[in-house]
Amino acid sequence: MTRDDAAYRIMAHMIPFFPDYDASVQVASALIDGGASYLEIQFPYSDPTADGPAIQGACATALDRGFTVSEGWRFVRDLTARTPVPVFVMSYAGLVYAHEVQRFVKTAADAGVSGLIVPDLPVDSDEGLFAAAADAGVHAVPVIAMGAGESRLRLIESVGAEYVYASLRRGTTGSHTEIGPENSAFVDRLARSGARVLAGFGIATREQVRAVLDHAHAAVVGSAFVRAIGENPTAPADPVRRLCARLSGIG
Amino acid sequence: MNSGFFGAFGGRYVAEVLRGPLDELDLAFQEASRDATFWEEFHRIGAEYVGRPTPLLFAENSTRELGGARLYIKLEGLANTGAHKINNAVGQALLARRMGKHRIIAETGAGQHGLATAAICAKLGLECTVYMGEVDINRQRPNVYLMEVFGATVVPVASGSRTLKDAVNEALRDWAGSYDTTHYIIGSALGPSPYPDMVREFQSVIGQEVVRQLSEREVTPTAMVACVGGGSNAIGFFAPYLEREAPRLIGVEAGGRGPEPGQHAARLNGLGRTGIVQGYKSLFLLDDDGQVSHTHSVSAGLDYPGVGPQLAWLGEQGRIEFRTATDEQALEAVQFFARNEGVVFALESAHGGYQAMQLARSLSSNDAVVVNMSGRGDKDLFITARELMPETWHEFLVSEATSIAASLEEGRSR
């Protein structure tokens, strides 16, 4: 079974070195086997201000277990070498800037990365991220939150990104999100520009995935996998594969 | 985008979710700044409630003992709630009310900003939640108690280094979900634009008073000295002098236990790197991989890995000189001014006090040095008493704990 059999397009989030390096390699395989259409690899940062408790805790563990940016690239290179599933790397401005934006983008491209998601480098304070990504042939993915004003939406559209990441509610990752008329209309609004909308924040069930995919290109699932790994730290692969398969509809 | 930058530092590096509330805040602050009635109320509360102007003390005994420059102490710590933090808390709380927000959130390190915010919220009838790292809660318990007495909810932060920066993260997370009803009062002159400008404006009341107080006494200062954590007392104290060539402006960072990584919070003078953290670009203590480093200072208020962007820029321009004082030197200054002047510096401010002592010694009686005692040391009782008279203090705490335990027991058995 692969993503080609998936009924629902999932962008599955994971963190290298959570709960440790070897287990996180298995988690990546489990997500691929579970039918993930995209992988979002979060590079842990000491101060993840957009993340809720589940991902914060996982990032702290990953840093304790030895995550470094160069280890992160090793993880990604190994991953892109063994799967055709597109890999997106997510991190924070602090880490990307410390490794120099141009160099970070170039390294990502060389590692076979399809896209980069850096929520606190928005399009008008991006430190050259979007231009560098265009040069390197990598998608820079703007993140847009529910409640953004029309002028911000137009500004973000003006960069002509092929993918946009929509936060389906305010706040941080992980707590439950009701999919209703308001956030559905928000996704529709984004999709009208022609961008592929990756919609997430608090998506954990098949019902939510189904509701989101009536409007979005893919549903992003993050904290739900982190929690599944946290509950089974010594053997996370099976529960992660089962959860992913249930959400993607191949199992 | 040039607005909100000081040279290369500053900016508004936030996730899109916070962009709207920051744009709204920027606009509201600009409008309030042009509204004379806003400032009238700010100054009225300053006079009636904060206790402004705070005195400028000629430290006569210290001057004699140090044998150099005349030393003046701006007793900012005499402001209600014990530190300069109240100036900014009042300004931002008034702004929040003007914007129709009824809930306030704040981060705090030493607890002084949280305390000031809790107090003004009690006075203005605003709901208040304060985020505070667990480490800081343990070392600044008296302030936690007072915040709760003022009716604020104090939320312990257990993530990261469990100090000030983690409290900022948690407040930012709260705000990302609550900005419709909630204003986030950042306590220092840092964070995304417009905070650095806004906090400086509210704190510049300190410097404006010093200008007036010095000119009344016909004193021309040679140097001004202030401690620098995030830098709000320093930027407010220095504000009227920033565009002038004199006096010398000296910021004092936490030298902690020494220059080894993790043992201090000194970001200027080469130890910090340019980075983007918590929404702004400035100098930060980062490890080799770009992660934010742990810091140490005996004073919770200076125990922060970043510095306000305008101070970083003024340091780069050479307008402000930066020095450090260690934990021990700060304690030495607390004792020196207590004995000589009957004034107890907060541990934070005592870093500035120590370097003011050194500077006064090196100058002549024609010179005048002004140091900002940004806070008073009452809140540090549990730290300083333990250092200065451990045995007596231990005995007292044991007897106090025993007596509380006995009355709790009695309560349970009734």
Q: Is A40 a catalytic residue?
A: yes
Tens-digit pLDDT profile for residues B30-70: 999 999 999 999 999 999 999 999 999 999 999 999 999 99
Contact present, B68 and B366 (Cβ < 8 Å): no
Mean pLDDT of A190-198: 95
**Contacting A residues, span 6-45, partner chain B, CB-CB under 8 Å:** 45
Collect all residues with Cβ–Cβ distance below 8 Å to A21 and sequence separation of at least 6: A65, A66, A71, A75
Q: Report the pLDDT value the prediction gives residue B160, as an integer from 0 to 100.
A: 84
Q: Does B289 touch chain A (CB under 8 A)?
A: yes
Mean pLDDT in chain B? Answer: 96
Contact present, A143 and A90 (Cβ < 8 Å): no
Whether pLDDT at B2 is above 60 = no
Percent of chain B with pLDDT over 70: 100
Tens-digit pLDDT profile for residues A93-140: 999 999 999 999 999 999 999 999 999 999 999 999 999 999 999 999
Tens-digit pLDDT profile for residues B72-120: 999 999 999 999 999 999 999 999 999 999 999 999 988 999 999 999 9
Q: How far is CA B403 from the centre of its chain?
A: 35
Q: Report the pLDDT value the prediction gives residue A251, as an integer from 0 to 100.
A: 67
Q: Report the pLDDT value the prediction gives residue B44, as an integer from 0 to 100.
A: 98
Is the Cβ pair B12, A125 closer than 8 Å?
yes
Alpha carbon distance A18, A86 (integer Å): 20
Q: Is A5 a catalytic residue?
A: no
Tokens representing B35 are 């509204």
Tens-digit pLDDT profile for residues A142-180: 999 998 999 999 999 999 999 999 999 888 887 888 889
Rg, chain A, Cα only? 17
Tens-digit pLDDT profile for residues B231-281: 999 999 999 999 999 999 999 999 999 999 999 999 998 899 999 999 999
Measured between alpha carbons, how far is residue B47 from residues B34, B51, B87, B119 in Å? Answer: 21, 5, 11, 16
- Shortest distance between the Cα of B11 and any Cα of chain A, in A, equals 8
Contact present, A242 and A231 (Cβ < 8 Å): no
Domain tally for chain A? 1
Q: Is B85 a catalytic residue?
A: yes
Is the Cβ pair B169, A47 closer than 8 Å?
yes
Whether pLDDT at A12 is above 80 = yes
A4, A5, A33, A40: the catalytic one is A40
3-state secondary structure of B252: strand
B62, B74, B107, B165: the catalytic one is B107
Q: Identify the structural domains of chain B with CATH numbers, from first to last.
A: 5-48+85-195 (3.40.50.1100), 51-82+203-383 (3.40.50.1100)
- Split at pLDDT 50, 70, 90, the class of B414 is confident
Number of inter-chain CB pairs under 8 A, A vs B: 112
Q: What is the 3-state secondary structure (H, E, C) of chain A?
A: CCHHHCCCCEEEEECCCCCCHHHHHHHHHHHHHCCCCEEEEECCCCCCCCCCHHHHHHHHHHHHCCCCHHHHHHHHHHHHHHCCCCEEEECCHHHHHHCCHHHHHHHHHHCCCCEEECCCCCCCCCCCHHHHHHHHCCEECCEEECCCCHHHHHHHHCCCCCEEEEECCCCCCCCCCCCCHHHHHHHHHHHCCCCEEEEECCCCCHHHHHHHHCCCCEEEECHHHHHHHHHCCCCCHHHHHHHHHHHHCCC
Q: Report the pLDDT value the prediction gives residue B110, as an integer from 0 to 100.
A: 85
Percent of chain A with pLDDT over 70: 99
Q: Where are the alpha helices (DSSP H) in B34-130?
A: 36-45, 60-66, 85-98, 112-124
Write out the residue range of the structural domain in which residue A241 sits: 3-248
Interface test with A, best of B13, B16, B289 (most A CBs within 10 A): B16
Alpha carbon distance B295, B327 (integer Å): 13
Whether pLDDT at B1 is above 50 = no
Q: Does A46 touch chain B (CB under 8 A)?
A: yes
Residue length of chain A = 251
Tokens representing A3 are 């993503």
Q: Report the pLDDT value the prediction gives residue A4, as an integer from 0 to 100.
A: 75
CB nearest A125 (choices: B1, B159, B160): B1
CATH of the domain at A158: 3.20.20.70
